[in-house]
Chain A
Amino acid sequence: MKVLVPVKRVVDHNVKIRVKADGSGVDLANVKMSMNPFDEIAIEEAVRLKEAGTADEVIAVSVGPAQAQDVLRTALAMGADRAILITVDGAVEPLAVAKLLKGVVATEEPGLVILGKQAIDDDCNQTGQMLSALLGWSQATFASEIVLAGGKAKVTREVDGGLQAIEVALPAIVTADLRLNEPRYASLPNIMKAKKKPLDSKTPEDFGVTVAPRLSVLRVEEPAARTAGIKVGSVAELLDKLKTEAGVI
């Protein structure tokens, strides 16, 4: 069985982002970019499936600028077997990505697609669900455990208030939550091997998909800074403030 893992190049999670002065977006000049952390978890899971003998091949795919090669090389160094880069300059929305991924699924015919539950840049949390709808495949989102057996995937989902266990028929779409696993470091032999692994380049035209945005960004602004807290002298004063000022009790 092949496992397909889409990965996105995003601003590194350690970077303190800054909104551009004209409010048109986030300043990406000279900013460190990395693989979306949830996608790293997805790659890790796929590689573990391969190591366990459940999967035969792990294919990483990215939709993004030419520099997204870097995150694909990281995926290869973590243990993916080959990679596909669909080059798109500029913003690309979840629906367009899902359509492109549908095209990749049509040619690669994976038994399972594992995605990060969301990307940490736009926090859309849509691509996996949209891909599931386009393909007509089952979806199991926010996975914290995946067990494959008998053509089915038993997935534990992290939902509000607890864990939900579901079973979906393969092929299926699974999106990875934070606690699914702890991604490995790329080993030195795998880093050296990564360059020799195949990395195919494609364009949206190859899949007959137009990626023109359907949404327009009006303005991006920083969240309001938190105001300083206050100290209260007694429990009675606290209760009073919660009642009269905060209005929560």
Chain B
Amino acid sequence: MRFGLSDEQEMIVSTVRSFVENEIYPHEALVEKTGEVPQEVAQEIKQKVIDLGFYASNFPESVGGPGLSHLEFALVERELGRGSMALTHFFGRPQNILMACQGEQIEKYLMPAVRGERMDALAMTEPDAGSDVRGMKCTATRDGGDWVINGSKHFISGADHADFFIVFVATGVDETPKGPKKRITCFLVDRGTPGFEVAKGYNSVSHRGYKNCILYFDNCRLSDAQVLGEVDGGFAVMNEWLYATRITVATMSVGRARRVFDHAVQYAAERKQFGQSIGKFQGVSFQIADMITEIDAADYLTLASAWRLDEGLPANREIASAKVYASEMLARVTDAALQIHGGMGLMDELPIERFWRDARVERIWDGTSEIQRHIISREIFRPLGA
């Protein structure tokens, strides 16, 4: 068993880290203050990432991506996690689910997304369908040869910059012994399609500038050509392509935690009270010790689950463990870092309060901690028939 990274992987880490430090950090204060990423900043980041060959680094070589392994991509995401999500969004990583594109969809959606010409956004969540995806009320019904979509989606991240949307809607109901079960279909919807509106969402306490929007569908008419995957096959494409992306929150939490940790250590070493560095007081030094221990644990757990994906091993439980542990670790680490900073930690003069706010959402999105624990325990009990 080897824990070290290869030369290439070390270089990937150091390149992405320097990129985040030099190209992302300098814009963070402005984004935090205004809640907006200036268009020229977004474009500049995107162009630099394209020039570096890192754009769409989650895509295989067959479609023009770099063909990184899951582990290597996890390392990219980990380093990106250090920076503001509103800005790292332009270090484009289109949804892997676009690999399900077929026929004309490939040139219209997949390839332009990989090249950075068109940006995508994934729309699943609804006001009444969060963790319970099948509870969605947004529906598509047949009308002639077309589909007519009605309903709404919310919390759609990156929708403000998206040129097209990957939208999951109900296309029917199956009666099963456990009760009715909705059939889901995935559609590709272009911005500007008649009957489709992207509206301003809510202001979130986490990740200011990384906007979530509300999508309204009012008799929005789509042809069969817009179906991604098979009709009623929404869950199939979801399971095939969105399975591995759940690791993202874990990797980004680890990267962010390392940045927060560096702030805490620096402050504890420099801040003097009662004639010595506060880091010399056990109350602070033990917190630092616990922080780094938990960060390392989350890091190895996350990379190990990415490694399992590369090895073709079952990773569902491991990814869920990584997600729940890393996101909750980040909550503890940001809270301890704030405590070490004392009152200044709460002030917007320092980025600590922002890290603390940002951390809160990680336990909620991409499957809440409770859903992850459900997945983990289900995997354990299922073979026992319990």
Contact surface of A with B, Cβ cutoff 8 Å: 69-70, 73-74, 77, 185-192, 194-195
Interface contact A189-B66, CB-CB below 8 Å: yes
Q: What band does the interface of chain B fall in when counting residues whose beta carbon is under 8 Å from A?
A: 10 to 19
Closest 9 CB pairs of A and B: A188-B53, A187-B53, A189-B53, A191-B11, A187-B52, A188-B66, A73-B7, A185-B15, A188-B54
Interface contact A185-B18, CB-CB below 8 Å: yes
Q: How far is the CA of A189 from the CA of B8 in the complex (A)?
A: 10
Give 22 A-B contacts (CB < 8 Å), ordered by A residue. A70-B7, A70-B10, A73-B7, A73-B11, A74-B11, A74-B14, A185-B15, A186-B11, A186-B15, A187-B52, A187-B53, A188-B12, A188-B15, A188-B52, A188-B53, A188-B66, A191-B8, A192-B8, A192-B66, A194-B7, A195-B7, A195-B8
Interface contact B51-A187, CB-CB below 8 Å: yes
Q: Does B57 contact A (CB under 8 A)?
A: yes
Q: Does B216 contact A (CB under 8 A)?
A: no
Q: How far is the CA of A73 from the CA of B7 in the complex (A)?
A: 8
Q: How far is the CA of A235 from the CA of B51 in the complex (A)?
A: 55
Q: Does B235 contact A (CB under 8 A)?
A: no
Residues of A within 8 A of B307 (CB): none
B54 nearest CB across to chain A (Å): 5
Among B14, B51, B54, B57, the most chain A Cβ lie within 10 Å of the Cβ of B14
A231 nearest CB across to chain B (Å): 20
Q: Does B19 contact A (CB under 8 A)?
A: yes
Partner of B12, one of A69, A70, A191, A195: A191
* Extra pairs beyond A70-B7, A189-B66, A191-B15 (9, CB < 8 Å): A73-B7, A185-B19, A188-B12, A188-B15, A188-B52, A188-B66, A189-B53, A194-B11, A195-B7
B67 nearest CB across to chain A (Å): 9
Q: Which of B326-347 contact A (CB under 8 A)?
A: none
Q: How far is the CA of A205 from the CA of B116 in the complex (A)?
A: 52
Residues of B within 8 A of A77 (CB): 11
Q: How far is the CA of A192 from the CA of B51 in the complex (A)?
A: 15
B124 nearest CB across to chain A (Å): 30
Q: Which residue of B lies closest to A186 (CB)?
A: B15
B63 nearest CB across to chain A (Å): 15
Q: Which residue of B lies closest to A185 (CB)?
A: B15
Residues of B within 8 A of A195 (CB): 7-8
Q: How far is the CA of A77 from the CA of B14 in the complex (A)?
A: 12
Q: How far is the CA of A70 from the CA of B4 in the complex (A)?
A: 14
Residues of A within 8 A of B14 (CB): 74
B335 nearest CB across to chain A (Å): 27
A138 nearest CB across to chain B (Å): 35
B4 nearest CB across to chain A (Å): 12
